[in-house]
Structure 1
Amino acid sequence: MNTLSGSIALLMLLGSVRCQGVDPTPVPVHALAQVTGGELRLFSGEDVQLRCSVPEDPLSSWRYQWFLNGVLTSSAEVYHLKNAHVLQTGSYTCQGEKDLKEWPYLISSLQSDLLNVHVDGGWVLLQAPTEPLIIEEVLTMTCRVRDDPLLVEVNFYKGDVKIRTQKKKDLVFPSATLDDQGTYWCKATWLQDFKYQSAQSLKFSVIVLDKLSSPVLTIDDGEVNPVKGSTVVLRCSTQLNTREKGHTIEYYYMNNATLLGPSSSKDTHTIQRVEDDDTGVYTCKARVRVLNLERWSNELKLKVEPSY
């Protein structure tokens, strides 16, 4: 059998497998990018170490690739930025790939979430949580000065307002609130070579999330004036933000404050063949019973139009 005939036979075999409904391709899994040394916000000349893994399939022999702003920059499980420079600032993601014994013989994981690395070439750097906080968690911000000299004064700002003057470099909020979300920066004064030096950091945004966001009630097709006899799907969109997994959100739907049936674990409520009495003001409530949390949505006015 010549090479061409062999190739045709292989393609026919693969086509036969697909036609029989057999798909040997594994379900895609996500890569995970983590910081295993240093900080995501660092001075130039310092080090940070990033590690890639595939936690959903840890026993396989994965190979890894790192991308900076979407461009391949390294092929390694651990990516070590030694003596980092400003041009290495950017968004890092990683991806795994492994060989298979069957078609398609090679598979890639889904890319990881972003790790945003900021390499600062200045004198003062504000280090703060790079991931969103959840209310009641501790919020710590650190105003660092290159080479750690003796600090004389540190000023912290939120927006254009000075919120604290102190000698310590750390500012701690023991229990963060939604009001603590915002843009922060700091200004430091220090003593070096018997001279006073002063500089300020770049601004940095701190995000604080509610445990359960206020729901947004919408209609799936966006039509708030449905024709009589049509189907309307209400959607109650919310977000549960907790470090623990497995909590269930209960949804309640109301028309003119009248409950439309029992609670549901679905974020949609369908009204089949709407009638005139379905006209009204709709709201929904999201509730997490075990956490004693509940939030109400906006009001949505729905008017059923006659069919002609």
Structure 2
Amino acid sequence: IIRPVFTARPKATVTIQPADPVFTGETVTLTCDIGSGDDWYYEWFKDSKSLGEAQQRKEYTISKVAASHGGVYTCKGRQSTEPRYSETSNAVTLTVSERPKPAVSIQPDDQVFRGEAVTLRCDIQGGGVSNWQYSWFKAGSSTAVSYKQQYSISSVTASDGGTYTCRGAVRGTSRYSHTSEAVTLTVSERPKPAVSIQPDDQVFSGETVTLTCDIQGGGVSNWQYSWFKDGSSTAVSYKQQYSISSVTASDGGTYTCRGTERGTSRYSHTSDAVTLTVSEKPKPELTSSHKGAALIGNPVVLYCKLDQSAGWRFYWSKHTQSPENETKTETHSYTISSVSVSDGGQYWCRAGRGTPVYYTHYSDALWINVTGTTRSDSLTVSPSRAQHFSADSLSLSCEGQSDSTGWRVRRYTHSEKVSDCSSGLGSVTGSTCSISSLSTSHTGVYWCESESGESSNPVSITVTNGSVILDSPVHPVTEGDPLTLRCLYRDPKPSNLTAEFYKDGSLLQTQTTGEMTIRTVSKSDEGLYHCKHPEKGESPQSWISVTGASFSVFSLLSSLMAVSPYLLVTIVLGVKCYRAQARPDEENKQ
């Protein structure tokens, strides 16, 4: 009896390269290994269904794997000899995942200050991979700057700023994740706050004070502010503006501020210290431009002196006024342009600033005495106009005085001194001063003065090197009279005489004849006048006064203010000094 020989049926084994899982788009190869003999025909199954196209191939390759290729794979072999079939292989699962893309985060922020610590973190979710090798790249370089999941810089500098990306590689393979989106790290200088104090760093008890902390730069808009006093580590306020509604001496001291970005630990530099000084409520000193009695018609200027004058307005009152009717000025002076008897009396001043207004104490009272003595008003000027060309001649005469004996022409100009004709101004004949060749240094105020100290009303003379002057009266115009103004020209005279006439800077008229006439002068016509020619240019300004409208030295000097503010100030000071020097001589003659 011949007994058959039975050979054990071999078992197929399936392997997958690359190792499971795989990313979409990769090439995947499944290998069916039976191990005995090479004359096998192979059959592949996915999810227990035959893959007909894969018959007779030991390797089943998918060139661009997609999610639809995922599943359970098996294989078995068939041959012509016994055993004719292998056993079916063990089942292997092919998992197809999307290639993951890293997410990058920066702590504490993507905008940091120089010297701060920064950490960039690369997180890769999905893909079924747990053994990533991380790589960090900075724009402009192909070499990785770090191979750790967290890239830390302990103290950033400006050179660390830039654009960063990260990528993951499966350890031991050449398989990669996508590259992350780029993130930009901005490194700025740590900003330093600037502190300001309103109304001033020297304030008075009871005032409202506001300290403001201003932080520019650094790329931060959500600061949390902290105020510190006298070096204390405990903040006195956490607002950008630290207000003290009614300061006391205890609020004085040095203050600093600092900013911290809300929600982070980032902070600015500390500001420079500012010192707040709190003094007792001040009391101004009230003085007058006149010593002794003031003449009727003269100007009187009151001065409210306050050492610390930043931001103050000044308030003036008289014994006939109630406090709510105080006169307010922006400057520390108050002018009575033409004193009358009713202006005599007792005056006070005080200052105020801020909102609500903080007031100083009232000054001591000052008495203004007014005397009825008046001045003569006749100084004859030839040519009789207020403006003159340089190199022209001019005659000024006191001969028209009721008693011309002992009268002389005096002036005050840029020289800052009171002088008369005999001191080099011109030639003297009796009470007449003749100037043969004018220069701009002759611009000033002129008047007649007697040996006894009596003086006429002053007049303003302006001398210009320009090509145009305004022919305007040197003395006040009587209300109701006509007034004609002309534009005069230095040779050669223009063929076109059309001129524009201005009052207080505003155009009044344009006249082809070069002159304009006001038929009936009124008080409202007082002001600063000048004319302008389209080719020759414009004249200086001159003040035209109307009698009955408080003509005074003050209104005269207003014309000089337009020509030379410096001259106006020096005239006031010079006349005060001159009168002070003259007073002892007058007393000696009595």
TM range (shorter): 0.3 to 0.5
**Normalising to structure 2: TM-score of the pair?**
0.26
Larger Rg: 1 or 2? 2
Q: TM-score, length-normalised on structure 1?
A: 0.47
Greater relative contact order, per chain length (Cα 8 Å cut-off, separation 6+):
1
